[in-house]
Amino acid sequence: MPLEIRKVLEKFLSLLIGLGSVFILDSLYPAKSPPFWRYICVDMRVTDNKKAHNTSSYKNTSLIVRRNKEFIIIIRFDRPFNNQQDNVHLEFMIGNSPDENKGTYITVSFGKEKRDGRWNGRVIGMQGNEVTVGITPDASCIIGRFRTFVTIVTDLGKQRTQRNPDIDLYVLFNAWDPGEDTDRQEYVMNDVGIIFNGEINNISSRAWNFGQFEKGVLDACLLVLDAGKVPLLYRGNAIEVVRQGSALINSQDDDGVLVGSWSGDYSTGTAPTAWTGSPEILLKYAKDGGLPVCFAQCWVFAGVLNTFMRCLGIPTRVVTNYCSAHDNTGNLKTDIILDEDGRVNRSRTRDSVWNYHSWNEVFMRRPDLPERFSGWQVIDCTPQETSDGLYRCGPTSVNAIRDGELSYPFDARFVFAEVRNMSMLFDVYLPSSDKYGNTKVINVDTTYVGKLLITKRMNSNAYEDITSAYKHPEGSLKERETMQMAERRGVSSRDYLPPAEAGVTIELQADTIKIGDNFKLTLNIKNQTRQTCTLSATITGCVVYYTGITSSIFKLDNKAYMPYLVEQSNLLFVVYGRIEENGKTLSTMRVVALRPPELTIKVTGTPRVGKDFMVTVSFRNPFNFILKNIQLRLESPGLITTKLKTYDHIAPGGSLQYTETITPQYPGKKVLIACLDCATVRQVTSQLEIFVQ
């Protein structure tokens, strides 16, 4: 029988019988005597199994299960099943060369010849022509999309059903396994979240649509593994999948999902600040056949990696570290180099302290390490430094970071430096030095870095302070022990000695302001000696990116900072002073955060399933200059996919309003996320929670 005719016939029979996918067996033509069946019918019981496996949310018609938990399927024959005579294999295959030894070819047999394979199988019930079978993928099973086949074995030979994608089976990691005890509702099931940003004195946040259940996202995540050539063998090992994921979400080395850019010019793609969620990015990546998507910065990387992990079933959260050291030199010291005027020397300062940096934590057992290192693990896909040859970072145990146990894989040293950089240095040029100039340490601050680590609180949009998970309290015995342990593990922390105390302290104070507003800068000077001191000081103001990289330096006598601003910029003030009596130098710095203008979301009507209501996003240009090439995004997981509107310009003082009519399909809490973006004003975001009745 030609394949096409068989398929049409099978489809027809499926509709006729209405109990699952029908497969006609070759034995029907020519007819053979029993015990051959002429057709079998496979019911994957998608709805019930998905409910039991916490996978109902996936917008995907196939069966999706979590490994190490039984799922139930029903096979219906065209005559009663005989447990003593009939011999049936259910087969699951993944990849191009399925092999039982590699776990890419799985057999579950029942009936006459019952054998034990990797996956446990049992007959739960027989009734009439129907057999109900329970199958449990083993706890270390490869995750991904398996093709399902049924094979009938008789003394005369065997028959396997043709491939039918309708009965494909997705297997995911199982965060519901014992030993994986964390809040699954928040860290696996929540498809919307908050990513914190801003500056330590001005913590702000933006909503993010993780959208791990959106249509096509699961297939896109599996494509990431395929495009990254992650061997199937490794896909049963969560540690490997997590590490590969941290490499594959950035495009460096491996043409992964997102291209990082901090250039300020994003005209060839979408600005990192303009995105509102992961599905738009992952679906674009999949649609373009694995072409990297432009552009991302840390929160975009963290947002997409969060989606990837939650989608595959691994508990994940986004963490933001304020004053995050980026130690380019791998020496666990951050060197900020000033020139003779006290200004940050941009060409010689290679390390930086980011105002904030967002990464991810995954919750997992680490069977490869001593038990105390299971639990939350840092992973980071923002391309900062290569780890063993590729841009990736982690998984590294948060407990190991806290206790200075830096020997264990992966990348504990780098993360340790991000949160607890030994010495924050201000080096200065000696005026006599030449282009290979020498520097002198003028200030060492061991507490500046890793000041605060936060993540979204469970069932709330507020933040949870998790600093103590990464660091014992400053000055405590445990913290001293951590530093000693880190030194025993090869961290040489103490080769720069802090200079002698100057006897005078200086401190800068300033408020957070709305972008464009005036503000007051206060320099507090305290003389702790009994002598009179004469201090000559220079204050330099410069514009810094969130990565701590300085952009333009502006003149304080001019006092107009607006023309110098860059995206997501803050103002950095550095004071460099010298006490004339004893020649001692001192310095301090302070970031002044600039709050972006506001974006408003309003709802008209009561959101009900099946009824229209309206959402209006509005914005007023508060500046005395024109805003050009504006992108406005609106999305809401489970409610609407990303809507993108572009506007040519908004005049000074001018406004825009965008209204969308929405018809909800599912009830429950929803989050509307909006973002306005243009080259001169970034990070204009807003979110609104609504309840669909």
Binding-site ranges for a copy of itself (CB under 8 A): 91, 93, 98-102, 105, 107, 115, 117, 153, 158, 233-234, 243, 247, 329-330, 335, 337, 348, 350, 367-370, 388-390, 406-410, 427, 432, 434, 436-439, 488-490
For the CB of residue 407, give the shortest distance to a copy of itself in the complex, in Å: 5
| CB within 8 Å of 156: residues ≥ 6 apart | 32, 36
Residue 439 and residue 436: Cα distance in Å, rounded?
10
| Token pair belonging to 551 | 């952009």
Residue 598 and residue 207: Cα distance in Å, rounded?
14
For the CB of residue 434, give the shortest distance to a copy of itself in the complex, in Å: 6
Three-state SS for 647?
Answer: strand
* Catalytic site residue from 191, 219, 380, 411: 380
- Kindly tell me which of 42 and 406 has the beta carbon lying closer to a copy of itself: 406
* 74 in Cβ contact with 128 (< 8 Å): no
Of the candidates 627, 617, 600, 626, the one whose C-alpha atom is nearest the C-alpha of residue 657 is 617
Neighbours of 512 (CB within 10 A): 18
DSSP secondary structure code for residue 197 in this structure = E
For the CB of residue 167, give the shortest distance to a copy of itself in the complex, in Å: 17
Helical residues (DSSP H) of 390-508, grouped into ranges:
398-403, 412-419, 467-470, 477-488
**Where does residue 479 rank: exposed (0-12), middle (13-18), buried (19+ CB within 10 A)?**
middle
Three-state SS for 565?
Answer: coil
Round to the nearest angstrom and report the end-to-end CA distance of the chain.
Answer: 52
Of the candidates 453, 457, 363, the one whose C-alpha atom is nearest the C-alpha of residue 402 is 453
**Chain mean position to CA 386:** 18
* Catalytic site residue from 41, 141, 294, 298: 298
* Catalytic site residue from 53, 89, 326, 357: 357
- Kindly tell me which of 495 and 557 has the beta carbon lying closer to a copy of itself: 495
Residue 491 and residue 422: Cα distance in Å, rounded?
9
- Kindly tell me which of 439 and 641 has the beta carbon lying closer to a copy of itself: 439
Neighbours of 121 (CB within 10 A): 20
For the CB of residue 450, give the shortest distance to a copy of itself in the complex, in Å: 21
- Kindly tell me which of 405 and 677 has the beta carbon lying closer to a copy of itself: 405
- Kindly tell me which of 100 and 689 has the beta carbon lying closer to a copy of itself: 100
For the CB of residue 657, give the shortest distance to a copy of itself in the complex, in Å: 50
Helical residues (DSSP H) of 191-233, grouped into ranges:
217-227
> What stretches of 186-228 adopt beta strand conformation (E)?
192-199, 202-209
- Kindly tell me which of 268 and 436 has the beta carbon lying closer to a copy of itself: 436
Question: Which conformational region is residue 486 in: left (phi greater than 0), alpha (psi within -120 to 50 degrees), or beta?
Answer: alpha
Residue 564 and residue 553: Cα distance in Å, rounded?
8
- Kindly tell me which of 444 and 525 has the beta carbon lying closer to a copy of itself: 444
Residue 282 and residue 216: Cα distance in Å, rounded?
9
* 211 in Cβ contact with 307 (< 8 Å): yes
Whose structure tokens read 């008209």?
A: 604
- Kindly tell me which of 226 and 598 has the beta carbon lying closer to a copy of itself: 226
For the CB of residue 368, give the shortest distance to a copy of itself in the complex, in Å: 5
**Where does residue 448 rank: exposed (0-12), middle (13-18), buried (19+ CB within 10 A)?**
middle
For the CB of residue 333, give the shortest distance to a copy of itself in the complex, in Å: 9
Strands 452-456 and 396-397, by their bridges, are unpaired
Q: Is 380 a catalytic residue?
A: yes
For the CB of residue 625, give the shortest distance to a copy of itself in the complex, in Å: 39
> What stretches of 515-569 adopt beta strand conformation (E)?
521-527, 535-544, 550-554
| Token pair belonging to 447 | 């507490």
Neighbours of 564 (CB within 10 A): 17
Of the candidates 39, 128, 285, 208, the one whose C-alpha atom is nearest the C-alpha of residue 675 is 208
For the CB of residue 602, give the shortest distance to a copy of itself in the complex, in Å: 50
- Kindly tell me which of 247 and 309 has the beta carbon lying closer to a copy of itself: 247
Residue 298 and residue 555: Cα distance in Å, rounded?
30
- Kindly tell me which of 4 and 155 has the beta carbon lying closer to a copy of itself: 155
For the CB of residue 98, give the shortest distance to a copy of itself in the complex, in Å: 6
Distance of CA 436 to CAs 348, 430, 439, 678, Å?
A: 10, 11, 10, 41
* Phi, psi of 372, deg, nearest 5: -65, -10
- Kindly tell me which of 4 and 436 has the beta carbon lying closer to a copy of itself: 436
For the CB of residue 637, give the shortest distance to a copy of itself in the complex, in Å: 33
| Token pair belonging to 373 | 């290192």
Enumerate the active-site residues: 298, 357, 380
